[in-house]
């Protein structure tokens, strides 16, 4: 991870603090997404906030990440895992959607709730 030129969509990155704040938002209602984000754990395989396994592919792409040298903030390719079994929703893209619809949080939450229903595992 580091500062590098990339064609990767930087909107897909978030800090751990941003992920924790969004986890609370998605879990507190009035619309609760996926029954709520699972608790955070040091075990990446069960944690509600996690870094998915990165496959660099045939071109050897480095795992996405960024460190803002002016603030020291580090951004990662974080994802959420939900109580209903849904997993893999990108934290940065969730953050970005809230930013794009600042006056419509209900609309945003409703869309994420539907996505989590579709991703749920029986």
pTM beyond 0.75: the answer is: yes
Sort 59 into a burial class: Cβ within 10 Å, 0-12 / 13-18 / 19+.
Answer: exposed
**Rounded Cα–Cα distance for residues 82 and 18 (Å):** 17
**Rounded Cα–Cα distance for residues 111 and 121 (Å):** 18
Residue-wise pLDDT tens for the chain (122 aa)? Answer: 455 455 678 899 999 999 999 999 999 988 999 999 999 999 999 999 999 988 777 776 777 888 999 999 999 999 999 999 999 999 999 999 999 999 999 999 999 999 999 999 76
Greatest pairwise CA separation for the chain in angstroms: 45
């Amino acid at each position: 991870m580091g500062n590098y030129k990339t064609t990767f969509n930087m909107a897909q990155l978030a800090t751990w603090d941003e992920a924790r704040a969004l986890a609370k938002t998605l879990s507190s209602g009035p619309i609760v997404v996926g029954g709520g984000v699972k608790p955070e754990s040091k075990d990446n395989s069960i944690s509600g906030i996690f870094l998915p396994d990165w496959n660099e592919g045939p071109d050897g792409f480095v795992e996405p990440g960024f460190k803002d040298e002016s603030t020291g903030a580090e951004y990662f390719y974080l994802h959420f895992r939900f109580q209903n079994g849904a997993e893999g929703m990108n934290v940065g893209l969730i953050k970005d959607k809230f930013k794009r619809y600042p006056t419509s949080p209900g609309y945003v939450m409703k869309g994420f709730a539907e996505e989590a229903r579709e991703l749920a595992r029986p």
